[in-house]
Structure 1
Amino acid sequence: MALVNKEGQKVPNVTFPTRQNGEWVNVTSDELFKGKTVILFALPGAFTPTCSSTHLPRYNELAPVFFKNGVDSIVCLSVNDTFVMNEWARDQEADNVILLPDGNGEFSEGMGMLVDKNNLGFGKRSWRYSMLVKDGVVEKMFIEPEVEGDPFEVSDADTMLHYINPNAAKPPVATIFTKIGCPFCAKAKAALEDAGIKYEEIMISNSGLTSRTLRAVANRDTVPQVFIEGQHIGGSDDLEVYLAKQKTA
């Protein structure tokens, strides 16, 4: 397979046909990289498991931290056509990431990352890697090891952030269990938003996830119940105390 590390070299000069607002728009390498600091991470395919569950979501989640540390844009590249990439963008939490279709594989080939995935029925696809590009020149590449399957060990967002700034503070992630019409739930959500903590809301109802689910997870019957980075915080008053301590820590 002989993957090539392109550190110190310019990225390939490619024109990407994209579909934007119902019209064809050509996007060039210069438009993407010239005079900018850009993270590009490439993956084998839209809608595939690791790409959808981990690779893209984590870059999107850490995007505000990357932007605070001098990154102008984050690009996710795959050898898929623009219609597939646009649908994937709609399916994913990817507001902070540019999903770029390398439909003909020209950019991937120019990077020395175009590989044969015929055994999966994929044809030619990009190997999984990430890179930091400054003014069109590759400063750093994280290339997944050349082993069977689809390794995902070094091209992740956390590894890239550690390279850019080992001391960068990562935003905490919260999950909150709520019920419709609960004023204390609204209070807790507002407190999380004021603290800049993004959260996933899980609604408790008579169908789907019920109070039994809440008891199994939190050992509580009341809502809201807040978890931050896996730690059970408790209800809205408990959250208020927790956030106050974080401010003084």
Structure 2
Amino acid sequence: MSTAQQIVDNAIASEYIVVFGKSWCPHTKKAREAIAGLELPEGKKVKDFDLDLMGEEGEAMQAYLKTLTGQGTVPNIFIQGKHLGGNSDLQTAKDTGKLKELLVVA
């Protein structure tokens, strides 16, 4: 297993919300703004990765995420270890109330 795979797998398994994005991406920015506005359970945090600022490792992480999820674009969002999708998926989940369900600590 590569270092990139280990970083991705560890983040998904251990973090409450993980956003794999790019610093310049407007969709990543919009998703991060939406997540920043959420009321998270006490002690729960968001882990952000800017893949474009991580060089070859970031490229390898994005390639692994595509293999893992089928999604080759950013942001690539996980909540409590479950793949949500991208920004449009996040916004839809927020608008329909599904996001509140996903945020309940199991």
TM range (shorter): 0.5 to 0.7
Structure 1 runs of 4+ off > 3 angstroms? 246-249
Aligned counterpart for 2:28 among listed residues 179, 185, 189: 185
State the shift of 1:213 in Å.
Answer: 2.4
Count of paired positions: 79
Q: Higher strand fraction: Structure 1 or Structure 2?
A: 1
State the shift of 1:246 in Å.
Answer: 3.6
Contact 1:195 1:243 in 2 (8 A): no
Aligned counterpart for 1:199 among listed residues 32, 46, 52: 46
Paired amino acid for 2:47: E
Unmatched tracts of structure 2, length 5 or more? 1-14, 102-106
Question: Structure 1 residues 236, 208: CA separation in 2 closer, same or farther (over 3 Å shift)?
Answer: same
Give the distance between the partners of 1:248 and 1:179, measured in 2 at CA: 25
Question: Structure 1 residues 232, 248: CA separation in 2 closer, same or farther (over 3 Å shift)?
Answer: closer
Unmatched tracts of structure 1, length 5 or more? 1-171
Matches within 5 A, 1:191-230: 191-197=34-40, 198-205=45-52, 206-210=55-59, 211-230=62-81
TM-score, normalised via structure 2 length: 0.62
Paired amino acid for 2:29: A
Give the distance between the partners of 1:228 and 1:202, measured in 2 at CA: 14
- Pairwise CA RMSD of aligned residues? 2.5
State the shift of 1:230 in Å.
Answer: 1.0
1:82 aligned partner? none
Matches within 5 A, 1:99-248: 173-197=16-40, 198-205=45-52, 206-210=55-59, 211-244=62-95, 245-246=97-98
Q: Higher helix fraction: Structure 1 or Structure 2?
A: 2
2:12 aligned partner? none
